[in-house]
Amino acid sequence: MLLTDLRTIYERDPAARNWLEILFCYPGLQALVCHRLAHWLYKLGLPFIPRFISHLSRFFTGIEIHPGAVIGRGVFIDHGMGVVIGETAIVGDYALIYQGVTLGGTGKETGKRHPTIGSHVVVGAGAKVLGNIQIGDRVRIGAGSVVLRDVPSNTTVVGIPGRITRQNNVSADALAHDKVRDVEAEVIGALFERVKTLEKQVEHLRTTSSFSTTEVDKEQADNSSNTDSMIAEFLDGAGI
């Protein structure tokens, strides 16, 4: 298991220089090593030691994994500061989890209350996956997303709440976060174009009628132009 984790980090992180560096300088790997020991003791029914190991691991690595969580082979927690994985969470093989991710619950319910993550899943920085939900295999969850519902395999999820933006993205680069769609901006853009079309129709009706242009009309036209500029700037990323 440890060799698989080491090999996965070495293959997926271009900053990894050698095995010694990975073993001693990667908190994600160290947290997983501590967790596997804590999880083994947790399954034996020991009441205190597993949680204490988890607590020490969080103190030294900044990653909190409950001893009851099930973590698969080849999981890579990149950087990892602020990652929280709840008691009944299940993480599939070769998942990639970035810093600030929470695999948590939504209340004080008992039983299975944390998400199940499939294999080869990428969870972007700061994403929150909450509740007893199922995330399929090869799913990409965009940074900062909040996922509250089941997600089928081979899809990309972004936004708050998380929405599916792409189907069957098996060949998508797991690290290409810049290629994740901005659904909100697309919807706003579509509405913006619709409003402009309606404004042109209204203007055409006004020019073909007997109504004259007043000062109020001119002021409204100026305000509309300023609003158009603001919306266009937002859709273009405000210069980012």
Mark whether 204 and 103 lie in a shared domain. no
How much is the pLDDT for 31? 94
184-211 confidence digits (pLDDT tens) = 666 777 777 888 888 888 888 888 776 5
Mark whether 100 and 212 lie in a shared domain. no
Please give the Cα distance from 88 to 68 (Å, whole number).
Answer: 6
Mark whether 173 and 217 lie in a shared domain. no
Mark whether 67 and 121 lie in a shared domain. yes
Structural domain tally of the chain?
A: 2
Mark whether 11 and 48 lie in a shared domain. yes
CA-based nearest residue to 189, from 235, 240, 236: 235
67-125 confidence digits (pLDDT tens) = 999 999 999 999 889 999 999 999 999 999 999 999 998 877 788 999 999 999 999 99
- The residue behind tokens 């990323």 is 237
Mark whether 156 and 230 lie in a shared domain. no
Residue 116 lies in a domain: yes
What domain range is 206 assigned to? 183-235
Residue 240 lies in a domain: no
Mark whether 59 and 91 lie in a shared domain. yes
Residue 42: strand, helix, or coil: helix
Mark whether 92 and 197 lie in a shared domain. no
DSSP 87: T
Mark whether 25 and 124 lie in a shared domain. yes
Mark whether 17 and 99 lie in a shared domain. yes
Its pTM stands at 0.75
